[in-house]
């Protein structure tokens, strides 16, 4: 949450001429409600179930049929056991490594159900960071970098991995 996944992901997709998908937006479209509304009406578990369905649809049907796709996962997607296990097997997972204070300041926009309590945010950050590091093939430090700089680094790192086979 608050790492710049969507902005950087869009830029990378544009730079590479690839498709871009944001799972948070797709869940909202599928359910017909905002993430906050889903959390309030049905709870986090209902949101995570919808998120898992969207992610597996994208991984199994959209990405496998595409020459290039950038997928921005919601910050908590990694906590879904099936998603975590699947990401361990994926060829390319990028982690954007942002400092906690910057991530928290970005997440406090009222649009994220788990982003407004600093202590709770810190606990989520710590739990998720270890999970993302376990699945990441590339870790990009975003501290003090613009979205353009982050996207450029992702494109370079992605190209290097492709060149290695």
Q: Which of 9-23, 105-119, 147-161 has the lowest mean pLDDT?
A: 105-119
Give domain status of residue 162, yes or no.
no
User: Hey, what are 65's tokens?
Assistant: 């049929």
- Put simply, whether the predicted model's pTM sits higher than 0.95 gets the answer no
pLDDT at res. 51: 96
CA distance 68 to 139: 20
To the nearest whole percent, how much of the chain has pLDDT over 70?
92
Q: Report yes or no on 13 lying in a domain.
A: yes
Domain-located, residue 163: no
Token duo for residue 19:
């498709």
Q: Is 136 exposed, middle or buried (0-12, 13-18, 19+ CB in 10 A)?
A: middle
In a domain, 31, yes or no: yes
Residue at 165 is within a domain: no
Beta bridge partners of 122: none
What's the mean pLDDT in 123-131?
A: 88
pLDDT at 133 over 80: yes
**Rounded Cα gap, residues 65 and 83, in angstroms:** 19
Q: How far apart are CA 115 and CA 42, in angstroms?
A: 18
Dist. CA 83–CA 53, nearest whole Å: 10
Q: 68, 18 in Cβ contact below 8 A?
A: yes
Asked whether residue 106 carries a pLDDT value surpassing 90, the answer given is: no
Q: Residue 20 falls within a domain, yes or no?
A: yes
Has residue 59 been placed in a domain?
yes
Counted residue by residue, the chain has a size of: 165
Assigned domain for 14 exists? yes
Q: Identify the domain containing residue 120 by its residue range.
A: 5-157
CATH number of the domain residue 49 falls in: 3.40.50.300
- pLDDT score for 21: 95
CB 143 within 8 A of CB 99: yes
Question: Is residue 125 a contact partner of residue 103, using CB atoms and an 8 Å limit?
Answer: yes
Residue 3, token pair as written in the block: 């790492």
Distance CA 82, CA 98 (A): 25
Q: How many C-beta atoms surround the C-beta of residue 60 within 10 A?
A: 11
Number of domains in the chain: 1
């Amino acid at each position: 949450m608050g790492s710049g996944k969507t902005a950087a992901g869009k830029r990378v997709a544009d730079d590479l001429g690839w498709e871009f998908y944001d799972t948070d937006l797709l869940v909202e479209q599928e359910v017909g409600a905002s993430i906050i509304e889903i959390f309030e009406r049905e709870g986090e578990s209902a949101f995570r179930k919808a998120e898992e369905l969207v992610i597996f649809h994208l991984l199994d049907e959209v990405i496998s049929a595409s020459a290039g796709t950038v997928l921005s996962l919601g910050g908590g997607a990694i906590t879904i056991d099936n998603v975590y296990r699947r990401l361990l097997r994926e060829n390319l997972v990028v982690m954007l490594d942002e400092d906690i204070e910057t991530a928290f300041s970005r997440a406090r926009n009222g649009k994220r159900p788990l982003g407004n309590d600093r202590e709770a945010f810190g606990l989520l950050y710590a739990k998720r960071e270890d999970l993302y590091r376990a699945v990441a093939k590339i870790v990009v430090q975003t501290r003090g970098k613009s979205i353009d700089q982050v996207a450029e680094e992702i494109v370079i790192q992605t190209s290097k991995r492709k060149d290695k086979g």
